[in-house]
Amino acid sequence: MADRISDARRREVGDQLRKRRVVADLTLAQLSDRTGFSVTKISRMESGLATYSEVDITIHLAHCRQSSNEIAEVLYLGRETEKGYLVRRDSLRTLVLHENTARTITTASPVLVPGLLQTEDYARTSMQVLGNRDEAQIAARVQVRLERQSLLYRWNPPKFTFYLCEGALRSKMGSNRVMNEQLLHLGFVAERANITIRVVPSTASSGALCVSQLTLMSFAAHGSLLYTDTLVAGLFVENREDIATSRALLGRLAQDALDERQSREFLARLASEYDQPD
């Protein structure tokens, strides 16, 4: 079968193949000698650019000294359910993979400040509100969230645009101090050249469209990817019609949102409202 443009599922599987080869301390050439696959085939498999069978995956991983359970885990990632849709119960690993290869990332957030923009205390409080994890689990997830934010500050970062619905900014998480520091932090990061933050007022006509958080990522080498999450799973969407619908929604938000200067002024005013004892 001829190779196609890389899709999200194959990029995720390819990333796992590459990481497990590296852990096994094998070069492409060494794995080629062991498997009989050409170096080009292995490289394209690991880049998500080549079609492959479950037999190919099994051979690759077996020669990387993976157990049967570890091989089964990667095979599961590669099995397609409905084309254009990828559901992950634990979606963070997949999300980080795609965020780190994206050229632009546009997020609309109706309920909470997006994870990439959260302060440590705000992140901890928002997780505690869910009430489905103990303190040790929350501490670990907060640390992962903070580490993920390095994407904002790295060399040659993606271009970010965040549409924050007013309701998300007025939904109080924790104390006045937590909210004050979170809003000041938003104003600080909004000064960065690669980050645009725009507030969508609750009075805007498109404010009613702020019903679920969505993130649209574009890439230099392959098609756009839409991500949305729920309490139980994350959904990655490549269906072109759904991508177009989401892009139109983001366009509506762009028309109605405050501009960058107005948004920074709004954040500063709201931060000052929280600059008082509880």
- Per cent of the chain over pLDDT 70 is 88
Q: How far apart are CA 175 and CA 58, in angstroms?
A: 52
Classified by CATH at the fold level, domain 8-80 comes out as 434 Repressor (Amino-terminal Domain) (1.10.260)
Nearest alpha carbon to residue 216 among 204, 225, 207, 203? 225
User: Residue 249: which residues within 8 A CB-CB, separation 6 or more?
Assistant: 108, 206, 209, 214
Q: What are phi and psi of 228, to 5 degrees?
A: -145, 150
User: Residue 165: which residues within 8 A CB-CB, separation 6 or more?
Assistant: 108, 109, 110, 111, 199, 200, 202, 207, 210
Q: Which residue has the higher pLDDT, 211 or 32?
A: 32
Residue extent(s) of CATH 3.30.870.10 domains in the chain: 87-118+145-273
Give the tens place of pLDDT for each residue, 77-118.
Answer: 776 555 666 666 666 777 888 898 899 999 999 889 999 999
Give the tens place of pLDDT for each residue, 130-180.
Answer: 776 788 888 988 998 899 999 999 999 999 999 999 989 999 999 999 999
Q: State mean pLDDT over 26-30.
A: 90
Residue extent(s) of CATH 1.10.260.40 domains in the chain: 8-80
Q: State mean pLDDT over 33-37.
A: 83
* DSSP H or E run through 225: strand 225-229
Please tell me the predicted confidence (pLDDT) of residue 90: 64
159-165 and 195-200 as β-strands: parallel, antiparallel, unpaired? parallel
- Per cent of the chain over pLDDT 90 is 42
User: Residue 76: which residues within 8 A CB-CB, separation 6 or more?
Assistant: none
Token reading at 81: 């359910």
Please tell me the predicted confidence (pLDDT) of residue 162: 98
- Residue 5: pLDDT over 50: no
Residue 1 — very low, low, confident or very high, per pLDDT cuts 50/70/90?
very low
Distance of CA 141 to the CA centre of its chain: 15
Q: How far apart are CA 194 and CA 260, in angstroms?
A: 13
Asked if 171 contacts 111 with a C-beta cutoff of 8 angstroms, the reply is yes
Q: How far apart are CA 206 and CA 196, in angstroms?
A: 19
Domain 87-118+145-273 has CATH 3.30.870.10: yes
